[in-house]
Amino acid sequence: MLKTIDGELITHVAYETQFKKRMESIDQKDYQVIIEELNRVIDRGDVHTSSWIPGSDWRGTLYEPIWIACRKNNVEAAKFYGQILYKVMMDRPEEWYFGKYPHARGKTYFKMEHEID
């Protein structure tokens, strides 16, 4: 489950139409491997900054299919990756919140034991 820092429940991936179109360009087996890896990473901590997870060069990594699906466009690949992570966070059973902070590009996700008032 994913909520904004203000507690608003997120039920759709941002720019959903674009996300669905991008999903047509990635092999579903590759997508599943990425989802599994993201869930492994998320299971290891309570705070995650999106841009810190895959590293800066995806060539030869399990994230490379995202880059290829976006025609090797780094900016579009970063957006698509962000949407994939966003969806993973939405689909998790725990309560996750997110915000955008000046310390990093992308979003920072954090798990809360209790709801924010």
pLDDT of residue 114: 56
Q: How confident is the model at residue 16 (pLDDT cuts 50, 70, 90)?
A: very high
Q: What is the pTM of this model?
A: 0.90
pLDDT of residue 56: 86
Mean pLDDT (whole number) for 87-114: 87
Average pLDDT over residues 74-103: 92
Mean pLDDT in the chain? 92
With a cut of 70, say whether residue 115 has pLDDT above it.
Answer: no
CA distance 3 to 33: 25
